[in-house]
Structure 1
Amino acid sequence: MPEQPLHSADRPSDDLLRLAEAYDIEARYQGHDGEHHESSAHTLRAVLAALGVDASSPERIALALAHVENMPWRRTLPPVVVAREGRSVDVPVHVTHGDPVEVWVELDPEAGGGRRDLAQADVYVEPRTVDGRVVGRATFTLPGDLPLGWHEIRAEGPSAQAHSPVVVTPARLALPEALREGHVWGLMAQLYSVRSRASWGIGDLADLADLGWLSGRLGADFLLINPLHAAEPVEPLTPSPYLPTTRRFVNPLYVRVEDVRETAYLSAADRALVEWAAEPVQPLDTDPGPIDRDAAWAAKRAALEVVFAQPRSAARQAALDAFVEEQGEGLRTFALWCALVERHGAPETWPAPLNDPYSDEVVAAAVELADRVRFWSWLQWVADEQLGRAQQAALDSGMALGIMHDLAVGVHPAGADSWALRDVLANGASVGAPPDMYNQQGQDWSQPPWHPAELARAAYRPYRDMLRTVLRHAGAIRIDHVIGLFRLWWVPEGNSAAEGAYVRYDHEALVGILALEAHRAGAVVIGEDLGTVEPWVRDYLADRGVLGTSVLWFEQTPDGPLPPERYRREVLATVTTHDLPPTAGYLAGEHVQLRERLGLLTRPVREVQAEADAERERMLDALRERGLVGPDPSEREVIEALHRWVLATPSVLVGVSLADAVGERRAQNQPGTDQEYPNWKVPLADGSGNVVLLDDLVTSARLASLARVMNEG
């Protein structure tokens, strides 16, 4: 492949390249154009700085190289050991050269507990002098028959007193019985857009329960929804569900006030306060304009304050206390952050001492704001209860999986996780994507990435805790941008999105822990592996039992659409996705017209429209060849035929956009825009722009017809 040259002044030295490699930074990558691209010396130094490594001069680089080479020898044990079920693993143990050491594993109580002594392997490694001490390496073998779980390895000797977590992960995440032979289908919905006559201007968790029940009655086995991660605690709220303040906790905006049990016991005066809060926003349910999250949350927050003040029964208080105890320090810290935002406004404006979650000022604030911390913790409890009821309603309706939750790539740079997890997030860089055919300048998503080494030092517990919360009431989980478990494009602060570099992650650990937590929750895992993903990554994920993603419009060959028989089996296959217009709008070429109006096209509109028309005609020709449509099909007939095409694939999961099921034409999200388009604010509507309420779906002939098509398969 041809290579894009760098000017000599920008070319990294050999030592800088060695240092970058030592910290898992890829100095070269293959772009979407098939060409190899090199990162400049400036970019590599900036990425290293975000990792806490000073590479500002040749002397500093030499010191950093010596440090990274000696770093493992300074620890008795690795910070964490992640092993696959059925495979033995050699663990290096560092002690003063010649000293004896005893090593054993204490088993996870959830896996039965107990102790397993480890045998030393016959592996000789030359001792090394580190910080004036001669250090030897003994190798001990973790046996392959350890049970799944979070265990602990311990080492004791004259120069060793150490312990580290040992995580044994499933060799392969097994599919549930319903997916082992044939396939199942499900609906895909943006929950905030699906409103009922009882909503407060935005779809909520009671609507989720009803939509899950309806989906099951229609024959669906799962319901994929947008991420429910928490946004800001006070207005203005970030609309994008993919830019949350935290990925661990739930957005209380989705709570149905009337479904909190204590609401039933309000006095007449307090009930009136709740009803008055609802009055301004309930008429918004039928408003075809952009969803107003700020109005909905202001109304709900006022009402929930009233309900929170209502006394709870002893049993209910005990349940709340147990939830808070179970969620531990993570919930307390998140609730404190919410209380601080209430008091001081956006984190960017806080007094400097509050930026450190461990400062004396923050400790004092936790005491002063204790009642507000209890309020924000209580909100997570009531949201968790309602999520549990929604999943149970979905399963009770006959679904095999129920609710499929979505996990965003990262978090807001000024959010709760960026504050509370700063020790395991990189400072001075954000996540994005290199230039591609759709975004020629690259993308900067503004989200701070995990710091690979610090996350490992924390034994991946922040990652595990996040997964456990998302999986609490899930039958499946979709991982957005799953390649991020392998590598992420880091954009150093001050650089353009094109001036970044890939940083590799320990995918064996990240995918393994994901599989372990999904196994414990009984959930299926789907990785969104669209775009430039190396074939080996897809093979690896398939080997671990993580399903992939196929979107009909992206599955193309030089001769036209990829025949359905050639799709992968272990994927979620769909006609469209939330980053594309609904199929009715796509078929009409409205996405081209929209991009032209927004100034997003880099070529003449006639060329782009001609390509879109040709793509549509190739698809229609393929449908006709298979007898799926006649010579002059209606829009509805084409949409149903496209779903029959996807049903003809061997894919184990087939998804149907709820927007397609009602004839919606408007996109939920227009990549490349911010304020120019109402991203993530479009309410569910039909092809004429008329609002479609959840209540209307029960009698929707179009939805029922598409469901019959899906059940034929």
Structure 2
Amino acid sequence: YVRVPDEVLSSLAAILTAPGQPFVADFDEVFNIAPEMVSLLPVGGVLSRCAAAYLLDEKGNSLPYSFVMMEGERIELPPLPPGYYTLELHGAHQMRRCLVIVAPKQVYQPEMLRQGERLSGMNVQVYSLRSAFNWGIGDLGDLRRLAMDFGEDRIDFLGINPLHALFSSRPNWASPYSPSSRRWLNPIYIDVGGMQLFQTSPSAQAWFSDAETQAVLSRLREADWVDYAQVMALKMRALRLIFHDFEAQEAFVTARGTFEEFVRRGGRELRLFATFESLDHYFYAQTASIPFSEDTVGWLGWPEAYRYPDSAAVQAFAVSHEADIRFYMWLQWVMAEQLDLVRMACHEAGMALRLYGDLAVGVSRGGADTWIHREMYCLQVSIGAPPDELGPAGQNWNLPPLHPQRLKRSGYRVFIEMLRANMRVYGILRIDHVMALCRLWWIAYGNSANFGAYVRYPIADLMAILSLESHRERCVVVGEDLGIVPEEMRRALREYAVYSYSVMYFNHNDGNYWMPEYYHDQALAVVSTHDLAPLLGFWTNNDIETMNGLGVFETPEQYQQLLAQRRERKQQILAALRQADVLDASHDGEVLDHAIVLALHRFVAMSRSKLFAIQPENLLPITASFNIPGIASAYPNWRYRLPEDIAAMGKDPQLHAMLRHIVATRAHVRERQPTAVVVPASVATLIGGVEVTSVDKYLIDQLFAGTFADPFSYLGPHESGSGVIIRVLLPGADAVRVLAKDGKKALAEMSVLDERGFFIATLDADPRLHYLLEVQYGADKYIIEDTYRFTSTLQDFDNWLLAEGTHLRPYEKFGAHLMQHGDGVSGVNFSVWAPNARRVSVVGD
């Protein structure tokens, strides 16, 4: 735990409650419910005296609805299909609006994954691809060719880095995880040479044939690192020439009609993004000589009059720069069209899930998203990570967070549109730092990361939206859950069947690497990530040597310590490979050869994880890192280009053979064997004479969350090898004793297993023992029956008739009935038939 100073809490609380930008709330409350079930919504806190209610669909159409209010506090909704609904509550002099999210219980799962198939993919950094066709940076044409070349190797999806729009006026600011917008796309990835418009544009063809253009193009193609500024300048010159002919010539009239439809669908958001792009280039041309600073990038460096999309100055600019704005909208259309071609190529190559994309955790302060939706962001704050053993100073990502309350009151509109824009393109979407759906580490702007605190987000609503949108777009969801993940988030990921992100490099406990059979099945398993050195670079310590050369380490001892740790890690990896029988025991592992590379990938491929991805850089003789986290400018992050042309890779029989060998391993899942356990067993402690494991703690969390399906199977008295275990759930209780039925003799003092009010004890007694509970709340004590010691009054015959629908007297079994139990205890028996219910509780005074 990190102790947060009071001044930090006060500062962040003031930011959260400050008026900020003008904001009109669309909704007063948000509810999320299961589909096709009658639901009771607690609306009493929204409108105390509701006289009428109306239900509207997403288009604003009123739905047939009979208003039913229960006890003045709850309103009944009929079974509804998945979607977003507006519930209008009308009182005598006021009206309240509630958003109702009706979402499936789990995110989208294609049939093949539901049936247990295990799929394989290839992850590439698009910019790194080298070809004779691209212009010095990998593009969408290269992706299309890659899909056609490697689909025959039984690859089921093609993973790529985020294609989010960056700052096209500052192309050297190249991190795909610090975008200007997460909704729109980066035009640097347009395959200019593959455009039919380019091939038929007289202006573009004349320019392209010029010797100077060809010389620049040749130099960019041969470079070892991407020169973003030169590549963007070359592409923008060509694209402006194409656009000029596109707008003017009759030959493009059909294409213009398709473009106009794209503009219509994009609406105000697309036009504002294009206006931002036009403004940013306009003002950058006037300030290009000023040194780069994140504090002045984008609209942060514009004159005050242009910092608001609806200002008079922006409106006047838009009128006078209409052609420029149309050009930036056209670039988005070209990107969308070419991405459709890539998806089609993946489909034709037999890739079941097509493209696998990545969604960054946030956006830059000066970007288009914050300019368009300023009121939704807290610009005085940055997100990051708290201090820990690996990073004592913490991390500050310089990305402003969304305001949780404003996000909710707006009906999550920005979040929904962002998901839709990405899921529309991808068959799988990985959510970077998925913990953001639960909480984010906020840092007041200008402070270091250790002066921060966690701010919670409405996880139940966000997960419901994620589920609904994934079904609508038929998109599988992966949550990047590396680092500190709260149990609430892990539980939500499990319940919604979101795939975990499992990295072999990190999957070890005390130096023992997990065996493949202990990987989670609901996971995407990989050997490494773009933030780690390629396999050969890892094995030769190239990343450590690079950081040492850049002066990253504070002392020589730190450098030597990392080298020693790397040597130890490699030996631990080799030990795991030998234990899994994928590497010969005689192999010393000093040099990374074909046998180790193949063994490592087969090791992860044979895991239980349903999804598995290969990075080509780990199969090739590459040592340079794509990205070294924490180094902003001293190392050329996001610029490394693969040494081999993708055409040559596509014709390399050894590479194809290796891929097929690895993918073929997926057919052989290692079964769990007690002798092969490397992951430590769940921790067990002795409490109240009972051995309590981490499994118990997991079930207790479910009980407090109200998600345990059968509490009678766990609470109350249960036989065990050491006697009868009694477990009771009494929130807020300070102490509990087990008494004999006379209420006088104490049989056991119950031990506290969870401070929220969970107690446990063991007795050497008959499990049918009639006992009482003495419960202490502060100074008061009460003697009560343990309701969980009574069995169900429904007999097997009743259950059979009820399930068959032929029970003739269900009213005698359902509802509330006074009764006397067999041992003389009188009370009320409650039974209800609710086969699709998530939870049923008896609630009273």
Q: Sort the TM-score into its range (normalised by shorter chain).
A: 0.7 to 0.9
Tell me whether 493-502 or 146-155 shows the greater mean CA deviation: 146-155
Counterpart for residue 639 of structure 1: 597
- 1:154 paired residue among 85, 88, 93: 88
RMSD value, Cα: 2.4
Residue among 496, 504, 515 paired with 2:456: 504
- Write the distance in 2 (CA, Å) between the matches of 1:588 and 1:380: 42
Q: Is the CA contact 2:515–2:580 (under 8 Å) kept in the aligned structure 1? A: no
1:12 is matched with none
Structure 2 CA distance for partners of 1:93 and 1:274, relative to 1, 3 Å: farther
Instruction: Name the counterpart of 2:560.
Output: 606
Q: 277-286 or 366-375: which moved more?
A: 277-286
* 1:103 aligns to 2:53 (yes or no): yes
The 1:516/1:650 distance shift into structure 2, 3 A limit, reads: same
Match of 2:627 in 1: 669
- CA distance 1:281–1:412, change in 2 (3 Å): farther
- Indicate how the Cα distance of structure 1 residues 280 and 146 shifts in structure 2: closer, same or farther if over 3 A, else same: farther
Q: Does 1:624 align with 2:600?
A: no
Question: What code does the residue aligned with 1:525 have?
Answer: V
Deviation at residue 250 of structure 1 after TM alignment: 0.4
Residue 569 of structure 1: how far off its partner (Å): 0.5
CA distance in 1, matches of 2:13, 2:566: 43
CA distance in 1, matches of 2:216, 2:75: 63
- Give the residue type in structure 2 aligned to 1:639: V
Q: Which amino acid aligns with 2:396?
A: D
Question: CA separation in 1, counterparts of 2:533 and 2:182?
Answer: 26
AA partner of residue 122 (structure 1): E
Q: 1:699 to 1:270 in 2, by over 3 A?
A: closer
What is the SS of the residue equivalent to 1:51? helix
Amino acid at match of 1:179: L
Structure 2 residue aligned with 1:90:
41
Cα distance in 2 for residues equivalent to 1:683 and 1:625: 36
Match of residue 551 from structure 1: 503
Q: Offset at 1:190?
A: 0.5
Report how far residue 283 of structure 1 moved: 2.0
* Superposition deviation, residue 95 in structure 1: 7.9
The separation in 2 between residues aligned to 1:76 and 1:304, in whole angstroms, is: 40
Amino acid at match of 1:322: E
1:341 match: 280
Answer yes or no: is the 8 Å Cα contact 1:107–1:115 preserved in 2.
no
Q: Structure 1 76/589 Cα, relative in aligned 2: closer, same or farther at 3 Å? A: closer
Residues 228 and 250, structure 1, Cα contact 8 Å, conserved in 2: yes
Aligned residues of 1:569 and 1:651 also touching (Cα < 8 A): yes
2:342 counterpart of 1:390: yes
Q: What is the distance in 2 between the residues matched to 1:587 and 1:577? A: 15
Post-superposition Cα deviations, 1:135-191, rounded to whole Å, max 9, x if no partner, equal: xxx432334x31111222223343234444322222112421222313111101100
> Are the equivalent residues in 1 in contact too, given 2:32–2:461 (CA < 8 A)?
yes
From the superposition, tell whether residues 113 and 629 of structure 1 become closer, same or farther in structure 2 (CA, over 3 Å): farther
Residue in structure 1 matched with residue 200 of structure 2 by the alignment: 265
What is the rounded CA distance, in whole Å, between the counterparts of 2:198 and 2:221 in structure 1? 25
1:331 is aligned to 2:274: no
Checking the alignment, whether the CA contact within 8 Å between 2:108 and 2:467 is kept in structure 1 is: no
Q: Which amino acid aligns with 2:256?
A: Q
Q: Which residue in 2 is equivalent to 1:46?
A: 11
Greater relative CO, 1 or 2 (CA 8 Å, sep 6+): 1
Q: Deviations over 1:505-559 (max 9, x none)?
A: 0111222212211111111100000111134422311211210111111010225
- Whole-Å Cα distance in 1 between the matches of residues 236 and 486 of structure 2? 46
Which of 125, 129, 142 is the matching residue for 1:190?
125
Distance 1:113 1:471 in 2: 29
Query: 1:178 corresponds to which residue?
Result: 112
The equivalent of 2:826 in structure 1 is none
Paired letter, 2:182: R
Give secondary structure in 1 for the equivalent of 2:329. Answer: helix
The residue aligned with 1:436 is 388
**SS of the residue aligned with 2:429?**
strand
Alpha-carbon offset, residue 109 of structure 1? 5.9
**Code of the aligned partner of 2:597:** I
Please tell me whether residue 680 in structure 1 is matched to residue 634 in structure 2: no
- Give the distance between the partners of 2:400 and 2:379, measured in 1 at CA: 7
Deviates more, 1:699-708 or 1:489-498: 699-708
CA shift for structure 1 position 595: 2.7
Give the direction of change, closer, same or farther, for the CA distance of 1:463–1:174 in structure 2 (3 Å limit): closer
Residues 577-622 of structure 1, C-alpha deviation per residue, up to 9 Å, x if partnerless? 1110011111222232223223333553222211111111111122
Aligned counterparts, 1:162-561, within 5 A: 162-180=96-114, 181-267=116-202, 269-276=203-210, 279-284=214-219, 286-310=221-245, 311=249, 313-345=252-284, 346-558=298-510, 560-561=512-513
Aligned pairs for 1:694-713 within 5 A: 694-713=646-665
Deviates more, 1:528-537 or 1:478-487: 528-537
- Residue 406 (structure 1) shift: 0.4
Equivalent residue, structure 1, for 2:805: none
Determine if contact 1:246/1:417 at 8 Å carries over to the other structure: yes
Name the amino acid aligned to 1:341.
D
Kindly provide the amino acid, as one letter, of the partner of residue 57 in structure 2. L
The answer (yes or no) to whether the contact 2:511–2:569 under 8 Å persists in 1 is no
State the partner residue of 2:68. Answer: 119
2:570 and 2:345 map into 1 onto residues whose CA distance is 39
Percent identity over the alignment is 32
Counterpart contact for 2:382–2:445, Cα < 8 Å: yes
Structure 1's 284 and 167: CA in aligned 2 closer, same or farther, altered over 3 A? Answer: farther
Aligned-partner SS, 2:331: helix
1:19 alignment counterpart: none
**Cα shift at 1:398:** 0.2
Q: CA deviation at 1:699?
A: 1.6
Q: Secondary structure at the match of 2:43?
A: strand
CA offset digits 1:392-413 (Å, max 9, x no partner):
1001100110110100011111
Structure 1: how far apart are the matches of 2:502 and 2:47?
54
* Contact preservation (8 Å) 1:200, 1:284: no
Contact 1:230 1:249 in 2 (8 A): yes
Letter in 1 for 2:41: D
Instruction: Give the AA of the match of 2:54.
Output: W
Contact 1:488 1:502 in 2 (8 A): yes
For the 8 Å contact 2:107–2:466, the answer to whether it is kept is no
SS state of the match for residue 248, structure 1?
Answer: strand
Q: Whole-Å Cα distance in 1 between the matches of residues 490 and 131 of structure 2?
A: 40
Query: How many aligned positions are there?
Result: 637
Looking at structure 1, the residues matched to 535 and 92 of structure 2 have their Cα atoms a distance apart, in angstroms, of: 69
2 CA distance for matches of 1:682 and 1:649? 30
Q: Is 1:141–2:97 an aligned residue pair?
A: no
What's the counterpart of residue 645 of structure 2?
693
**Alignment CA distance shift 1:534-1:213 (3 Å):** same
The 3-state SS of whatever aligns with 1:317 is helix
Q: Which whole-Å CA distance do the structure 1 matches of 2:580 and 2:618 have between them?
A: 22
User: Cα–Cα, structure 1 residues 262 and 614, in superposed 2: closer, same or farther, change >3 Å?
Assistant: same
Matched letter for residue 103 of structure 1: A
Q: Which residue of 2 aligns with 1:66?
A: none
Residues 575 and 656, structure 1, Cα contact 8 Å, conserved in 2: yes
CA drift of 1:115 comes to: 3.1
Give 1:39 deviation, angstroms.
1.1
Structure 1 unaligned segments of length 5 or more: list them.
1-35, 55-73, 124-137, 685-690
Asked whether the equivalents of residues 200 and 285 of structure 1 are also in contact (C-alpha less than 8 Å), the reply is yes
- Determine which structure has the larger helix proportion and give its number: 1
Q: 1:515 to 1:682 in 2, by over 3 A?
A: same
- 1:116 Cα offset (Å): 3.1
- 1:213–1:397 CA contact under 8 A, matched in 2: yes
